[in-house]
Amino acid sequence: MTVITFIGAGSTVFTKNIAGDLLHREALKGATIRLMDINPRRLEESEVVVGKLAQTLGGRARVETYTDQRRALEGADFVVVSFQIGGYEPATVTDFEVPKRFGLRQTIADTLGVGGIMRGLRTVPHLWSICADMMEVCPRAIMLQYVNPMAINTWAIGAKFPEIRQVGLCHSVQGTAEELARDLDIPIEEIRYRAGGINHMSFYLNFEHRQPDGSYVDLYPALRQGYRDGRFPKPSSWNPRCPNKVRYEMLMRLGYFVTESSEHFAEYTPWFIKRDRPDLIEKFGIPLDEYPKRCVEQIARWDKQAQEYRDAEKIVVKPSHEYASAIVNSVVTGEPSVIYGNIRNRGFIPQLPDGCAVEVPILVDDNGLQPTTVQDIPPQLIALQRTNINVQELTVAALMTENREHIYHAAMLDPHTGAELDLEQIWSLVDDLLDAHGEFTPEWARPEPRRKAS
């Protein structure tokens, strides 16, 4: 019997999607699914949803709930991690509102920039606590890590717990491929691609269309011409606030298409979000403060959906494009699959630092995770990735050494922050963020209490 533990199972919509994917797999219909969360109400909602999913999809799965992390992990084969330390309120709101006071605007703030740095500081210690428990009660389990900032988290886990079998999972590679297929009016099943880089800054090195005779045609010329003609990107099919123009512009400048969304990518570079250039915001349709808006919308949707799920006799979900179920199925059955995952760099991308987190194709079967090497990434892409790796490396260094100064160093080297603020502003902003986040940050990172003026 396969045991799959969800840490942060109160993220009910995500848990529903992953559990639904797992239970669609014949080899996993009888699995034990353990749901763990510190929020009893959200945990109970997830129990209702996953229980009804199990009944709808065969009824053989066993669903258990836990509020104790260690007990939930005992003897687990797979550990799915999805949580947000500090939640939307107060943590996410703080990550946006404090930088605004310095004139620094963001779009998502969960991966890089001052928002990503702060999120890493409050998230990594909790991931380490999971790893410590896993080493004692399920040392051979595979961690399927869905928490942002993905690259910082993956790097930090690998640095402190190199024995943990882990992979950081994101849907940007396969999701963007589907977006481009939609722009091109080509079925995604007819497209072949290969990508490599770092999370949220991986690039398609090949993007091709399979022909009836079995040959392949490079689709990059069609993408470039479509952008020149104004036909691409097509209007968003899911969020009209995010028109996806930034990535097409980067395609024209770099020659390759990046796998993460335009709203994310805009804040990983110094070129698009500038306080004195509202024309750039308008030209590229950059959705400032996008993530808080999504959070508010998702909370409102869930309040309505939660009651609908309680009232429903059955819950039907379509398989998603997340990789978790493919990994679990391949390890359990030996049926091979290829996924894109984030792992510790051990020469898998030779041009990038050893130990950093890289996103590469990974073969999965009953031998586990077997990353492949990507060694032909063009130098301009490597150079851009290094600008983000600098921030990740210094954030991980701060966590590993408990050196507060590296937090400031990370913010100084962030491309967007450095383009907008001077050094004094950056240090003051970091102070204010650490102060505002309070107990959500590690004790060593908290600033000294400020003296009141007499």
Sequence ranges of the binding site for Mn(2+) = 170, 200
Closest CA to 48 of 277, 309, 407, 338: 309
Which residue bears the tokens 């069609």? 222
How far apart (Å, rounded) are the C-alpha atoms in residues 281 and 357?
Answer: 31
Which of the residues 126, 171, 209, 321 is marked catalytic? 171
Evaluate whether 348 touches 378 at the Cβ level (below 8 Å).
no
Phi and psi at 216, nearest 5°, equal -130, 145
How far apart (Å, rounded) are the C-alpha atoms in residues 325 and 344?
Answer: 21
The structure tokens listed for 248 are 């097409």
CA within 13 Å, CB half, 414 = 31
How far apart (Å, rounded) are the C-alpha atoms in residues 280 and 274?
Answer: 8
How far apart (Å, rounded) are the C-alpha atoms in residues 273 and 288?
Answer: 9
Evaluate whether 10 touches 45 at the Cβ level (below 8 Å).
yes
Evaluate whether 312 touches 49 at the Cβ level (below 8 Å).
no
The structure tokens listed for 158 are 């690998």
Which amino acid, one-letter code, is at 101?
Answer: R
Evaluate whether 239 touches 224 at the Cβ level (below 8 Å).
no
Binding residue numbers for substrate: 148
Pairing of strands 3-7, 78-81: parallel
Binding residue numbers: 148, 170, 200
Q: How many residues does the chain have?
A: 454
Which amino acid, one-letter code, is at 373?
Answer: T
Which amino acid, one-letter code, is at 365?
Answer: D
* Whether residue 24 lies in the annotated active site: no
Evaluate whether 272 touches 266 at the Cβ level (below 8 Å).
yes
Closest CA to 63 of 104, 29, 107, 86: 29
Please give the DSSP secondary-structure letter assigned to residue 318: -
Q: Looking at the annotation, which residues are catalytic?
A: 171
